Structure 1
Amino acid sequence: MGLKSVIRKPDGQIEISFNYEKDIVRRIKSISGSRWIPERKVWCLPGNKDTLELITSMFGQKSLDTLVKDSLEKAYIDSEAKRLRDEIRIRGFSNKTIKSYTLHFKRYALHNSDYLQFNLEKVKEYLLHLRDVKECSVSYLTQSISALKFYYCQYKRIPKMNFYIEFPRKEKKLPNVLSKTEINKILSVVTNLKHRAMLMLTYSAGLRVSEVVSLKINDIDSDRKVIHIRQSKDHKDRITLLSDKALTELRKYYKQYRPKKWLFPGADPNKHLSVRSIQKVFSEACKKAGIEKEATIHWLRHSFATHLLESGVDLRYIQELLGHQSSKTTEIYTHVSSSSLSKIKNPLDDIIG
């Protein structure tokens, strides 16, 4: 029969879920004190001997033992993940890193039940499983290695020299770029003032999406025509450009919406808009504008850097505006800039004439 889960709560009660069968529901209802919880789609039962005997008679001891064991293991993993999360938070890592490391740890723990004991071969076996079976990307493998290295070396305190796993070679991918015409098309179809202001700021200042949603009112310096980006990636502050056109749009938006703290608040005015919300806005704008490329909002940041480079702005200034720690990161935009390529005459044009 279709038993899905059995969980014993701290107060001793049992929560059970199963595939619907009329006879099973009838027998569950016959248990004194049973109640259906529609929000979680589970039955809550008194945690006594009679209840356990009835569940066993309906679903079998083997399936019950397996589910209880799985529930306990998951509870242990969740508990260890919480302690790991607290350790990462204490060390001042970003929320994005906290979430990433915690999820990667939990996935490994579910794969290897003996995760509390460091075993280099089992870690390598898991990484090969991700690469060959799950076909995960290089960046995913890199994140997984970083997370497990933190767990074992920083949290469990094993010597770093014991965790000798090299990071995979980085994929050499060029940044995706939209043309100025394409960006103009996208912005022209956005009529909502808030959405338009967000997208204009993202492109005109070369912002990461997390930076856009985290902006506060006082981060906009209209006198100096700059935007203050505070404690972004690598816990760095920086300033970037504030476009005249974007400022005009911001003033229209501010006059109508009157935000208090966050420049772009969410449904709850005490919280900023979610990253997912602005990603959805951009995606819908691309469809409406007829952009056939599978563009993401991060392409606006790439496009900002590329268009500056093509207009003759020094690479060092672009590095500062983007907040890149290394100039090598910024140099990749020279590979997608069309300004230099346009000066080269193709030999085919000479041949055909």
Structure 2
Amino acid sequence: MKDGRTTVYNNELTDKERLDKVNEDNKQLEEDFLEYLSSTDKSKGTIKQYKANLHIFWCWCLEHNKNKFFVEMTKREAIKFQNYALNEWQWSPKRIRTFKATLRSLENYIIKILDDEFPDYKRIWSEIESPADEAVRTKSVLQMEDIQWLLKTLVDKKDYMRSCMLALAIFSGKRKAELTRFKASYFDKENLICDGALYKTPEKMQTKGRGQRGKLLDVYILAKPFQPYLDLWLKQREELGITSDWLFPQYKDGEWLDEHIGISTMDSWARTFNSMLGKIGKVWYFHCARHFFTSYLLEQNLPENVVQSLQGWASSDMVRIYDDRTNESQFEKYFGSEGINQVEKKGLADL
């Protein structure tokens, strides 16, 4: 990991004044490309990200590459851009790889769809080796006592909305964007299954996947550990006069809106959780909750296929990827002074 990285962010790389000066051919290419993506059912999030990336690239071309048309660029100029992003903007290798995926997608569009207009176009972005990957943040492996401390701290402050969100993340293992889309009505008692061990959403939820609707899945939440924090927030919602069915509605200009909170709010909350956990030497980001949920279920001796189903994964390989348990912690469960321990398998009702 590099020390002292100071990343340059998107809002510093583009503005209306520069975008107005972008090569008109690049503007038209972008418009046609994004229209093509929409016609192939790419998600709005993907299209928005591609557009933002292209705006950054066009502005770089304007200032550092003579405002050159994308189709006319050379490998040497592609390397020049990558070097600038890495060393001037201080982008991480991962961000560069993600950014280049937009440019590779654009050049695929040119080759497959615009081959009659640009028959001599050759790939360049697929040919340029990306910088070696590196970790840019410390992986956070949280223990149950860390989670309980953070939840208690929030509850003591009567910060019931954020404590409920944190508990939902931990006991569902859902992604950041997915957490915003839960509804209060999902947590009716009639949606409890397995003798009250799990909430199952009454409708399939949109999760990450191809297409505008992503992948629609049944979603499960460990009911018993989540319930106390849900109850506190539902009671406070009632006191605040919140009528929206979104479990976490937006608050704006003194009013609770019938819209769920956005990613910017989640990012703000993540910074708050991270600052609080920093006091005990731990790190928080929402994705670590997916690792915690998987590891916790495995620690309770649930079979991998059950964990796979709860997470909605197509492959059991994902279970092992998200398992943060150490070999030693697993050995201690199965081996002791008497040799091999007899470990009882648990069911969901035991959690």
Q: Give the TM-score band, short-chain normalised.
A: 0.5 to 0.7
Q: Is the 8 A contact 1:130 1:136 kept in 2?
A: yes
Q: CA deviation at 1:165?
A: 3.0
CA separation of 1:314/1:167 partners in 2, compared to 1, >3 Å: closer, same or farther? farther
Task: Please tell me whether residue 165 in structure 1 is matched to residue 140 in structure 2.
Answer: no
Q: Is the 8 A contact 2:37 2:47 kept in 1?
A: yes
Q: Is the 8 A contact 2:23 2:68 kept in 1?
A: no
CA separation of 1:343/1:321 partners in 2, compared to 1, >3 Å: closer, same or farther? closer
Which residue number corresponds to residue 47 of structure 2? Answer: 98
Letter in 1 for 2:94: S
Which deviations, in whole Å up to 9, do the C-alpha atoms of 1:63-108 show, x marking residues without a partner? xxxxx99564248466765554444334333343223222221222
Aligned pairs for 1:117-156 (under 5 A) are: 117-121=71-75, 122-154=77-109
Which residue number corresponds to residue 305 of structure 2? Answer: 316
For residue 136 of structure 1, give the secondary structure of its aligned residue in structure 2: coil
Q: Aligned partners of 2:227, 2:122: CA distance in 1, in Å?
A: 52
Q: Is the 8 A contact 2:171 2:225 kept in 1?
A: no
Aligned pairs for 1:9-28 (under 5 A) are: none
Which residue, 166, 185, 203 being the options, matches 2:149? 185
For residue 176 of structure 1, give the secondary structure of its aligned residue in structure 2: coil
Please list every run of 5 or more consecutive structure 1 residues that lacks an aligned counterpart in the other structure.
Answer: 1-67, 346-353
Q: Is the 8 A contact 2:305 2:316 kept in 1?
A: yes
Task: Please tell me whether residue 216 in structure 1 is matched to residue 188 in structure 2.
Answer: no
Q: CA deviation at 1:126?
A: 1.9
Which residue number corresponds to residue 109 of structure 1? Answer: 58
Task: Please tell me whether residue 287 in structure 1 is matched to residue 266 in structure 2.
Answer: no
For residue 183 of structure 1, give the secondary structure of its aligned residue in structure 2: helix
Letter in 1 for 2:329: S
Q: Aligned partners of 1:199, 1:107: CA distance in 2, in Å?
A: 34
Q: TM-score scaled by structure 1?
A: 0.66
For residue 214 of structure 1, give the secondary structure of its aligned residue in structure 2: coil
Q: Is the 8 A contact 1:215 1:229 kept in 2?
A: no
Which residue number corresponds to residue 265 of structure 2? Answer: 277
For residue 220 of structure 2, give the secondary structure of its aligned residue in structure 1: strand
Q: Aligned partners of 1:281, 1:294: CA distance in 2, in Å?
A: 13
CA separation of 1:139/1:288 partners in 2, compared to 1, >3 Å: closer, same or farther? closer
Which deviations, in whole Å up to 9, do the C-alpha atoms of 1:131-165 show, x marking residues without a partner? 35444223212212210122222267356973543
Q: Aligned partners of 2:88, 2:34: CA distance in 1, in Å?
A: 28
Q: CA deviation at 1:213?
A: 0.7
CA separation of 1:326/1:102 partners in 2, compared to 1, >3 Å: closer, same or farther? farther
Which residue number corresponds to residue 236 of structure 2? Answer: 256
Q: Aligned partners of 1:285, 1:111: CA distance in 2, in Å?
A: 36
Structural RMSD (CA): 3.5
Q: Aligned partners of 1:158, 1:126: CA distance in 2, in Å?
A: 24
Which residue number corresponds to residue 243 of structure 1? Answer: 223
Which residue number corresponds to residue 194 of structure 1? Answer: 161
CA separation of 1:318/1:343 partners in 2, compared to 1, >3 Å: closer, same or farther? closer
Which residue, 339, 345, 349 being the options, matches 2:329? 339
For residue 266 of structure 2, give the secondary structure of its aligned residue in structure 1: helix
Which deviations, in whole Å up to 9, do the C-alpha atoms of 1:320-349 show, x marking residues without a partner? 33334443333223454453254699xxxx
Letter in 2 for 1:278: M
Q: Aligned partners of 2:299, 2:164: CA distance in 1, in Å?
A: 25
Q: Aligned partners of 1:223, 1:87: CA distance in 2, in Å?
A: 43
More RCO (CA 8 Å, sep 6+): 2
Q: TM-score scaled by structure 2?
A: 0.66
Q: How many residues align?
A: 278
Which residue number corresponds to residue 265 of structure 1? Answer: 249
Q: Aligned partners of 2:19, 2:100: CA distance in 1, in Å?
A: 27
